[in-house]
Amino acid sequence: MFILHAGRTKNIPYPVTASTEIAAGSLVAFSSGYLVAATSSTHAYEIAGVLVKAIASTDDDYADARTVEVQVPIENYTEWEAPVTSGLVAADVGLFQDLTDAVTVNRGSSTYDIAQCIKVLSTTKGIFHLNIGNAGQASVTA
């Protein structure tokens, strides 16, 4: 789960795919105009931000077309705490990594460069800058 550590964000309502469960704190991306949970192969420029409230199948509006709040960084270098696949070490600081899934950074992969490690909290948790949205455009190749 991605948790705001430092920096300013804004909650923005975006349409979400109906009948899709997504955990709070997940990175969410656009697919056909609707939010879905980010995956290990989601490009940085597709990611909108961090889902504020979980979407569960028990929600009254689970199957409805609706909007949900997404926490979007509004300044550069906003910091996020996130879990990591095991093995995060001091040498990872400054490096970019991908996602394992919508709530976990994959220390062993750097194809899409979603998160930049800026501090190691433990071998399984760190503080990251997110390279998402317009900032993620640098990941696009011609």
Query: Which pLDDT tens digit goes with each residue over 75-103?
Result: 989 999 999 998 999 999 999 999 999 99
Q: Is 134 domain-assigned? A: yes
Say if residue 142's pLDDT is above 60: no
Residues 52, 94 within the same domain: no
DSSP code, position 64: S
Predicted local distance difference test score (pLDDT) of residue 135: 59
CA distances from 18 to 1, 55, 61 (A): 22, 10, 9
Q: Is 133 domain-assigned? A: yes
Tokens 């503080």 belong to which residue?
127
130 lies in which domain range?
A: 79-139
Residues 14, 65 within the same domain: yes
Predicted local distance difference test score (pLDDT) of residue 33: 93
Q: For the sheet containing 115-122, what is the strand order?
A: 3-6, 79-83, 125-130, 115-122, 96-101, 104-106
28-82 confidence digits (pLDDT tens): 999 999 999 999 999 999 999 999 999 999 999 999 989 999 999 999 899 999 9
Predicted local distance difference test score (pLDDT) of residue 136: 58
Q: In angstroms, rounded to a whole number, what is the distance separating the alpha carbons of residues 88 and 96?
A: 12
Q: In angstroms, rounded to a whole number, what is the distance separating the alpha carbons of residues 130 and 66?
A: 26
Q: Is 1 domain-assigned? A: no
Predicted local distance difference test score (pLDDT) of residue 6: 97
Number of domains observed in the structure of the chain: 2
